[in-house]
A and B are shown apart, each in its own frame.
Chain A
Amino acid sequence: MATPSTLARTSAGALRRSAPVAHGNAYYATRRFLRHRLAMAGFLLSLFLILAGVLAPILAPTPYDFADLMAANQFPSRAYPLGTDTIGHDYLSRMLYGVRTSLFVGVAAVALACAVGFPLGLLAGLRGGLADFAVMRVVEVMTAFPGILFAIFLISVVGSGVANVILVIGLTSWVTLCRLLRAQLLTLREQEYVAAARSIGATETSIAVRHLLPNALAPLIVAVTLAIPTAIFTEAGLSFLGIGINEPTPSLGRMVGESATYIRPYWHLGLFPTLAIALVMLGFTFVGDGLRDALDPRQN
Chain B
Amino acid sequence: MSTGSEDRTPAPIPDPASVPPDPLGHRLRRRTLLGAAAGAAAAGAVGVGPRNAIASPAAAVPAAAPAGQAVPALPPDAAPPERQVYVAPDNVSIAKVLDFYEQVYERPSEAASDLFSDPLIRLNKNFELIPAAALEWSGSEDGRTWTFRLDPNLVWSDGTPVTAEDWIATFRYAADPGHAWDFSWFWASQGTIKNWNQALEGAVPTDQIGVRQGPDAQTLIFESEEPAPYMPAKLLYSLPLSAKALAEHGPLYNTNPETAVSAGPFILSEWQRDQRIVYVRNEQYTGQLKVPVNKVIVKLAAPDAFFTMYENDEVDFMNKPAPAQLKLMQDDPEKASQVHSGVGDFRCFYLFFDVTKAPFDNIKVRQAFSHAIDREAIASQILGPAGAPAYSWLAPGFPAANGDALKEIQKFDPALAKQLLAEAGFPEGEGFPAQEMWLRAPSPLDQGVAGAMASMIKENLGIDVEIAAKDQQGFTAALNAKPTEILFGYVSYGMDFLDPANMLGVWHSGGRHSWVNEAFDTGLDEAASFVGDPQQRLTMFQEVERILVEDVPGVFVYHETPVQLIKPWLKGDFIAPDENGISSMHWPGYSCTSTVPEGLYIGADAPEGREG
Interface residues of A (CB under 8 A from B): 65-67, 69-70, 72-73, 86-89, 156, 159-161, 242-243, 246-249, 258, 260-266
Shortest CB distance B439–A (Å): 9
Q: Which of B328, B451, B458, B474 contacts A87 (CB 8 A)?
A: B451
* Complex: A161 Cα to B280 Cα, angstroms: 48
Known interface pairs A262-B323, A262-B444; 17 further A-B residue pairs with C-beta atoms within 8 A, sorted by A's residue number: A65-B454, A66-B455, A66-B458, A69-B452, A69-B456, A72-B382, A87-B382, A87-B452, A88-B452, A89-B455, A161-B466, A246-B469, A247-B466, A248-B451, A248-B467, A249-B466, A262-B322
Are A248 and B468 within 8 A (Cβ)?
Answer: no
Q: Are A69 and B381 in contact (CB under 8 A)?
A: yes
Point out the residues of chain B lying under 8 angstroms from A242, CB to CB: 442, 469
Residue contacts A-B, CB under 8 angstroms, 19 given = A69-B374, A69-B452, A69-B456, A70-B377, A72-B381, A86-B324, A86-B448, A86-B451, A88-B455, A159-B468, A160-B468, A160-B469, A246-B467, A246-B468, A247-B447, A247-B454, A261-B444, A262-B323, A265-B327
Q: Which residue of B lies closest to A262 (CB)?
A: B324
Return the CB mask of B168-184 against A: 1 if under 8 Å, else 0: 00000000000000000
Is B471 interfacial (CB-CB < 8 Å)? yes
Q: How far is the CA of A2 from the CA of B61 in the complex (A)?
A: 88
Q: Are B452 and A67 in contact (CB under 8 A)?
A: yes
Residues of A within 8 A of B325 (CB): 261
Shortest Cβ distance from B94 into chain A, in angstroms? 17
By the criterion CB–CB under 8 Å, are A69 and B378 in contact? yes
A156 touches B328 (CB 8 A): no
* Bitwise interface map of B from 449 to 468 toward A, beta carbon under 8 Å scored 1, else 0: 01110111011000011111
In the complex, chain B residues whose CB is within 8 Å of the CB of A160 = 468-469
Taking a contact as CB atoms under 8 Å apart, the answer to whether A264 and B323 are in contact is: no
Contacts of B377 in A (CB 8 A): 69-70
Cα A261 to Cα B447 in complex, Å, equals 12
Query: How many angstroms between the C-alpha atoms of A145 and B448 in the bound complex?
Result: 35
- Asked if B324 and A261 make an inter-chain contact with CB atoms under 8 angstroms apart, the answer reads yes
A246 to B450, CA, bound (A): 12
Contacting residues of chain B (328-371) with chain A, CB-CB under 8 angstroms? 328, 331
Contact (Cβ within 8 A) B469 A86: no
CA distance A86 to B451 in the complex (A): 9
Closest A residue to B326 by beta carbon equals A265
Closest chain B residue to A242, Cβ basis: B469
CA distance A86 to B326 in the complex (A): 13
Min distance, Cβ A161 to any Cβ of chain B, angstroms? 7
Min CB distance A166 to B, Å, is 16
Residue B304 at the chain A interface, CB threshold 8 Å: yes
| Nearest neighbor of A152 in chain B, beta-carbon distance | B471
What separation, in Å, do the CA atoms of A103 and B401 have in the docked complex? 51
| Complex CA–CA separation, A156 to B469 (angstroms) | 11
**Chain A residues whose CB sits within 8 angstroms of the CB of B442 once the complex forms:** 242
Among candidates A70, A156, A264, residue contacting B474 with C-beta atoms closer than 8 Å: A156
- Nearest A residue to B307 by beta-carbon distance? A261
Task: Find out whether the CB atom of B455 lies under 8 angstroms from the CB atom of A69.
Answer: yes
Contact A248 B327 (CB under 8 A): no
The 5 closest A-B pairs by CB, nearest first: A67-B455, A247-B467, A262-B324, A261-B322, A87-B452
B332 CB to closest chain A CB, in angstroms?
A: 10
Residue numbers in B under 8 Å from A70 (CB-CB): 377, 381
- Please name all residues of chain B whose beta carbon is closer than 8 Å to the beta carbon of A262 when the two chains form the complex: 322-324, 444
Chain A residues within an 8 Å CB radius of B322: 261-262
Partner of B451 from A67, A73, A261 at Cβ < 8 Å: A67
Contact of A248 among B307, B324, B448, B466 (CB under 8 A): B466
Interface string of B461-501 (1 = CB under 8 A from A): 00011111101001000000000000000000000000000
Q: Which chain A residue lies CB-closest to B442?
A: A242
Q: Which residue of A lies closest to B321 (CB)?
A: A261
CA distance A222 to B377 in the complex (A): 51
* Bound-state Cα–Cα, A69 to B378, Å: 8
Which size bracket describes the interface of B in this complex?
A: 35 or more
Which residue on chain B has the smallest CB distance to residue A245?
B466
B 194-225 contacts with A by CB, 8 A: none
- The answer to whether B466 and A87 have CB atoms under 8 Å apart is no
Q: A65, B458: Cβ atoms under 8 Å?
A: yes
Q: A65-B454, A247-B466 are in contact. Are A264 and B374 (CB under 8 A)?
A: no
Collect the chain A residues with CB atoms within 8 Å of residue B331's CB: 265
CA distance A70 to B456 in the complex (A): 12
Residue of B nearest to A72 (CB): B381
Nearest to B329 among chain A residues (CB) is: A265
Bound complex: CA of A265 vs CA of B329, how far in Å?
10
Q: Mark B563-585, 1 if CB is under 8 A from A, else 0.
A: 00000000000000000000000
A88: chain B residues within 8 A (beta carbon): 381, 452, 455
Bound-state CA distance A267–B558 (Å) is 29
Bound CA–CA A251/B456 (angstroms): 20
CB-CB under 8 A from B452, the residues of chain A are 67, 69, 87-88
The answer to whether residues A65 and B328 also contact, given A88-B381, A247-B466 and a CB cut-off of 8 A, is: no
Chain B residues, CB < 8 A from A249: 466
CA distance A156 to B459 in the complex (A): 30
* Alpha-carbon gap, A242 to B304, bound state (A): 13
A73 to B384, CA, bound (A): 13
Q: CA of A184 to CA of B118 in the docked complex: distance in angstroms? A: 72
When distances are taken between beta carbons in the complex, the residues of chain A under 8 Å from B451 are 67, 86-87, 247-248
The answer to whether B471 and A161 touch across the interface, beta carbons within 8 angstroms, is no
Nearest Cβ on chain B to A44's Cβ, whole angstroms: 35
Max chain A Cβ within 10 angstroms of own Cβ: one of B374, B442, B466 = B466
Chain B residues near A156: list those with CB within 8 A.
471, 474
Chain A nearest CB, measured from B13 CB (Å): 35
Query: How far does the alpha carbon of A128 sit from the alpha carbon of B205 in the complex, in Å?
Result: 66
Instruction: For the complex, give the distance between the alpha carbons of A242 and B444 in Å.
Output: 11
Could you tell me the distance in whole angstroms from the C-beta of B380 to the nearest C-beta in chain A? 8
**CB contact under 8 A between A265 and B469, given known A87-B382, A87-B451:** no
CB pair A248–B455 under 8 Å, yes or no, is yes
Q: Which residues of B lie under 8 Å from residue A161 when comparing CB positions?
A: 466, 468
Q: Which residues on the A side are within 8 Å of B465 (C-beta)?
A: 248
In the complex, which residues of chain A have a beta carbon less than 8 angstroms from the beta carbon of B454?
65, 247-248
The CB with the most chain B CB atoms within 10 A, among A86, A243, A263, is that of: A86
Bitwise interface map of B from 297 to 333 toward A, beta carbon under 8 Å scored 1, else 0 = 0000000100100000000000000111101100100
Shortest distance from the beta carbon of A223 to any chain B beta carbon, whole Å: 33
Question: How far apart are the CA atoms of A240 and B307 in the complex, in Å?
Answer: 19
Which B residues are CB-close (under 8 A) to A247?
447, 450-451, 454, 466-467
**A265/B459 contact (C-beta < 8 A), A69-B381, A247-B467, A249-B466 known:** no
Report Cα–Cα, A243/B439, bound state, in Å: 12
C-alpha gap A156/B465 in the complex (Å): 20
- Encode contact with A along B67-105: 1 for CB under 8 Å, 0 otherwise: 000000000000000000000000000000000000000
B residues in contact with A73, CB < 8 Å: 381
- Would you call A65 and B474 a contact (CB within 8 A)? no
The answer for the CA separation of A242 and B466 in the assembled complex, in Å, is: 14
What's the Cα separation between A247 and B447 when bound, in Å? 9
- Give the chain A neighbours of B382 by CB distance below 8 A: 69, 72, 86-87
Chain B residue at minimal CB-CB distance from A67: B455
Question: Do B304 and A87 touch (CB < 8 A)?
Answer: no
Min CB gap A273→B, angstroms: 15
A64 CB to nearest chain B CB (Å): 10
| Residues of chain A within 8 A of B468, CB atoms compared | 159-161, 246
* CA gap between A86 and B450 in the complex, in Å: 12
CA distance A273 to B101 in the complex (A): 47
Measured between beta carbons, the chain A residues less than 8 angstroms from B324 are 86, 261-266
Within the complex, what minimum Cβ distance (angstroms) separates B101 from chain A? 31
Complexed CA–CA distance, A95 and B136 (Å): 64
With CB as the reference atom, state the residue of chain A lying closest to B464.
Answer: A65
In angstroms, Cα B442 to Cα A258, docked, is: 12
Task: Output the nearest chain B residue to A260 by Cβ-Cβ distance.
Answer: B304
Q: Mark B429-451, 1 if CB is under 8 A from A, else 0.
A: 00000001000001010011011
Nearest chain B residue, comparing its CB with the CB of A247: B467
Complex interface: chain A residues within 8 A of B455 (CB): 65-67, 69, 87-89, 248
In the docked arrangement, what's the CA distance between A246 and B448, Å? 13
